[in-house]
């Protein structure tokens, strides 16, 4: 494990260089660089509207970029052919802000959807793995036959995480995983992400607003502002930073409350 | 580092040792599953089985679960099973998998004759529910209308005008184009067949009566059901899905008054206008074909038209329009508000809205035909 982390420094799992994204005349990301190391949980923060979700969506290829390069698992996504790209997509999982579960499929079918597409496994094994994934994200097997509209907000997030994990990815993108959860539920979710990272050896890219998540779940924090990464490092580095937004964020009333 | 997974057997008297090697991951799942099934059969007779996983190069949930499945089935068969050689990284994954409660999946998808009969029965019983739902909505709309009459300030003029633009103004080009073409076709067919009897001029009678009494309004109503009825259902349905209608209710607004009434009113105003425009376009198209194809010059056409039709024909046609609009609107709104949480449900209800809307329009047309015949119009 220690060796893997060592490797990770030279070969980041995500390598973003000089990314520029523009919507009309507004430049959202402006020459942004970012590395995500293998096996870490990276917390990604920044003011609302700074472009955190835009960067996530750019990396996974949902938003076109004007300039720059993105490498995931050492594959340049612009230079890759279809099969290379599919290979990369098979190795990452994405948890969208609203869950994005397929509303006309049951929980079981949602989790099995990527398996059917990418793997050739028996129905029995798929059913068993589905139950295993649901147990891992802290849900009872009984929810497997419910539809997304019959789930609570927290359950939707958990099922969406189970679906993101269904192919045992090496990398997961979590877009505000704890938003809309009660503090206890959010705490459980952070704990869950930590556990999964340990058991499955995941790399986690987490966009969040939740200070608790930053303190309890993340190994490293990157801060987005003015279309660039304004700071990256441990929570202690963030607290020591003199940047006005960071000072406000990490020394505000709420931050003091979290630190106790 | 990676290699094809293997499960080697080493027999030791009564005991059996299984040595797992290679990559135990999802990509090899079919191979792994077969190997595990073989091992289950093979180990059935022995007293204890020792599973050595120290040589496994890579393990994920699929591999870990298959090892766990083997362990479970052996334990169930009264064979003592032991897993050994787990590395620290993977032991937490195996522990995680061990917590999984295996529950048999109940397959409910099987198609049986009784199941099919039950579905037919439910569908027939559902017809009553549909009619009740439509009457319910009609009542709710009338009640909301009455409330608005008492408190005119609560009337949503902006919304009504907006919907009037959507269903009336923006529908004009397509409605005029299609009715024009239908008018052309009727006239062409009429001339083609009437010519054999030397009764070319009677095409004007046929065109006038048919267009003003039936085709004009019926065709336009069907187009409006397809165009605006479906839009209403989709709008209300997606609002229902995203809890916007619940939000309105909690703020003390009546969704019928805010959403349904302006839409209904817009449709009831729009359909007579569109039916009139449609009828005129059809007569124009028919007249054009009668002139160019049948040699009936415009003056003769108009003269004949004045003799052939009376204001009664026009009234019979136009009176039906608001009633048909109300039927289309009510069906569309009932279906929209019945949408459940899924995208599939939205699609089903939008389809149902158009199908039921057109069905009821034709039924209403039949009822009107009987009514007008008996009052002699």
Q: How many CB atoms lie within 10 A of CB B290?
A: 27
Which of helix, strand or coil describes residue B46?
A: coil
- Shortest Cα–Cα distance, A107 to chain B (Å): 13
Q: How far is C-alpha B226 from the geometric centre of its chain's CA atoms?
A: 12
Q: Is A46 helix (H, G, I), strand (E, B) or coil?
A: coil
**How open is the CA angle A113-A115-A117, to the nearest 5 degrees?**
75
The model's pLDDT over B202-249, given as tens digits with 9 standing for 90+, comes to: 899 999 999 999 888 999 999 999 999 999 999 999 999 888 888 888
pLDDT tens digit string along B122-155?
989 888 888 899 999 999 999 999 999 998 888 8
CA–CA separation, A144 and A135 (whole Å): 11
Mean pLDDT of chain B, nearest integer: 87
Q: Cβ B100–A119 below 8 Å, yes or no?
A: no
DSSP string, B99-116: TPPP-PPP------HHHH
Mean pLDDT along residues A232-250: 79
Q: Binning pLDDT at 50, 70 and 90, where does residue A10 land?
A: low
A167 CB near a chain B CB, below 8 Å?
Answer: yes
Per residue in B339-360, pLDDT tens?
A: 987 888 899 999 999 999 999 9
Of all residues in chain B, what percent carry a pLDDT higher than 70?
Answer: 95
Q: What is the pLDDT, as a whole number, of residue A6?
A: 45
Contact B341 A147 (CB under 8 A): yes
CA distance B141 to chain A (A): 28
Res. B1: pLDDT tops 60: no
Question: Mind telling me how many Å the CA of A206 is from chain B's nearest CA?
Answer: 22
* Torsion angle (degrees, nearest 10) of CA B298, B301, B306, B312: -110
Segments in B255-342 forming alpha helices (H) = 255, 261-292, 298-308, 311-337
Is the predicted pLDDT of residue A4 greater than 60, yes or no?
no
Q: Side by side, which strands form the sheet with B48-59?
A: B6-12, B15-24, B48-59, B80-84
Chain B residue nearest residue A151, CA to CA:
B341
pLDDT of residue A259: 59
Chain B interface disruption, residue of A132, A140, A161, A198, most B CBs within 10 A: A132
Contact between chains at B62 and A120 (C-beta distance less than 8 A): no
Best CA proximity match to A193, nearest among A128, A234, A152, A138: A138
Lowest mean pLDDT among A202-206, B2-6, B106-110, B212-216: B106-110
Q: In angstroms, what CA-CA distances link A27 with A20, A30, A34, B147?
A: 7, 6, 18, 51
Distance CA B355, CA B377 (A): 30
User: Residue B55 is inside which H or E element, if any?
Assistant: strand B48-59
Interior angle at CA A197, CA A196 and CA A198, nearest 5: 90
ipTM for this model: 0.74
A108-117, A224-233, B45-54, B214-223 — which is least confidently predicted? Answer: B45-54
Query: Is the confidence at residue B109, as pLDDT, over 70?
Result: no
Q: Does A191 touch chain B (CB under 8 A)?
A: no
Question: In angstroms, what separates the C-alpha of B55 from chain A's closest C-alpha?
Answer: 17
Which of B33-42, B145-154, B158-167 is the least confident region? B33-42
Termini Cα distance of chain B:
91
Residues contacting A167, CB < 8 A, separation 6+ = A90, A91, A93, A114, A115, A118, A119, B26
Rounded CA-CA distance B83/B42 in Å is: 17
Picking from A124-128, A180-184, B293-297, which range would have the lowest pLDDT averaged per residue? Answer: A180-184
**Model-level pTM greater than 0.90?**
no
Convert the pLDDT of each residue in A117-175 to its tens digit: 788 888 888 888 888 888 888 888 888 888 888 888 888 888 888 888 888 888 888 88
Close Cβ partners of B98 (under 8 Å, ≥ 6 residues apart):
B68
Residue of chain B minimizing CA distance to A114? B26
Q: Sorting pLDDT into bands at 50, 70 and 90, what band is A3?
A: very low
DSSP β-bridge partners for residue A229: A224
3-class DSSP assignment, residue B295: coil
Distances from the Cα of B305 to the Cαs of B218, B239, B281, in angstroms?
21, 49, 15
Residues A183-211: what's their mean pLDDT?
Answer: 81
DSSP state of A252: S
CB pairs under 8 A between A and B: 81
Q: Which of A17, A19, A43 is nearest to A227 (CA)?
A: A19
């Amino acid at each position: 494990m220690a060796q893997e982390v060592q490797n990770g420094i030279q070969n980041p799992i995500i390598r973003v260089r000089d990314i520029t994204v523009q919507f009309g005349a507004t430049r959202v990301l402006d020459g942004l660089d970012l590395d995500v190391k293998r096996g870490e949980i990276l917390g990604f923060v920044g003011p609302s509207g700074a472009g955190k979700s835009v960067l996530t969506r750019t990396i996974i290829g949902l938003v076109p970029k004007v300039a720059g390069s993105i490498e995931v698992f050492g594959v340049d996504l612009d230079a890759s052919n279809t099969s290379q790209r599919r290979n990369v997509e098979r190795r990452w999982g994405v948890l969208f802000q609203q869950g994005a579960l397929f509303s006309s499929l049951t929980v079981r079918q949602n989790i099995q959807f990527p398996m059917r597409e990418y793997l050739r496994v028996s129905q029995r094994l798929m059913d068993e793995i589905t139950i295993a994934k649901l147990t891992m994200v802290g849900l009872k097997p009984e929810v497997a036959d419910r539809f997304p509209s019959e789930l609570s907000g927290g359950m939707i997030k958990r099922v969406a995480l189970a679906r993101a994990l269904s192919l045992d990815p090496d990398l997961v993108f979590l877009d505000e995983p704890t938003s809309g959860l009660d503090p206890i539920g959010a705490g459980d979710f952070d704990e869950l992400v930590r556990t999964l990272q340990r058991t499955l050896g995941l790399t986690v890219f987490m966009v969040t607003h939740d200070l608790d998540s930053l303190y309890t779940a993340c190994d490293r924090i990157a801060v987005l502002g003015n279309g660039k990464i304004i700071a990256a490092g441990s929570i202690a580095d963030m607290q020591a930073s003199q940047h006005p937004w960071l000072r406000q964020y990490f020394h505000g009333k709420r931050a003091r409350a979290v630190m106790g | 580092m990676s290699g094809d997974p293997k499960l080697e057997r080493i027999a030791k008297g009564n005991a059996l040792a299984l040595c797992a090697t290679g990559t135990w991951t999802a990509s090899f799942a079919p191979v792994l599953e077969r190997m595990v099934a073989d091992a289950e059969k093979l180990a059935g007779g022995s007293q204890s089985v020792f599973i050595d996983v120290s040589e496994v190069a890579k393990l994920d949930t699929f591999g870990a679960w298959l090892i766990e499945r083997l362990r479970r089935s052996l334990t169930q068969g009264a064979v003592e099973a032991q897993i050994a050689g787990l590395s620290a990284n993977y032991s937490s994954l195996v522990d995680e998998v061990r917590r999984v409660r295996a529950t048999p999946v109940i397959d409910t998808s099987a198609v049986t004759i009784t199941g099919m009969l039950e579905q037919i029965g439910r569908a027939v019983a559902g017809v009553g529910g549909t009619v009740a739902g439509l009457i319910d909505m009609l009542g709710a709309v009338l009640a909301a209308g009455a409330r608005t009459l008492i408190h005119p300030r609560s009337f949503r003029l902006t919304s009504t005008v907006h919907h009037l633009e959507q269903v009336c103004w923006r529908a004009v080009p397509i409605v005029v184009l299609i009715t024009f073409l239908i008018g052309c076709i009727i006239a062409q067919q009429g001339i083609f067949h009437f010519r054999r009897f030397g009764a070319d001029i009677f095409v004007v009678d046929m065109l006038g009566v048919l267009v003003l009494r039936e085709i004009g309004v019926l065709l336009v109503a069907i187009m409006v059901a397809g165009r605006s009825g479906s839009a209403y259902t989709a709008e209300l349905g997606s609002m229902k899905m995203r809890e916007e209608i619940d939000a309105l209710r909690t703020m003390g607004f009546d969704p019928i008054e805010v959403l349904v009434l302006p839409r209904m009113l817009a449709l009831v105003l729009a359909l007579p206008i569109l039916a009139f425009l449609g009828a005129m376009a059809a007569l124009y198209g028919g007249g054009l074909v009668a002139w160019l194809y049948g040699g009936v010059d415009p003056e003769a056409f108009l003269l004949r038209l004045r003799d052939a039709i009376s204001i009664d024909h026009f009234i019979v046609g136009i009176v039906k329009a608001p009633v048909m609009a109300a039927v289309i609107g009510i069906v569309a709104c009932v279906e929209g508000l019945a949408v459940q949480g899924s995208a599939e449900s939205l699609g089903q209800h939008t389809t149902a809205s158009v199908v039921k809307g057109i069905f009821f329009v034709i039924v209403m047309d039949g009822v009107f035909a009987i009514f007008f015949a008996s009052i002699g119009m």
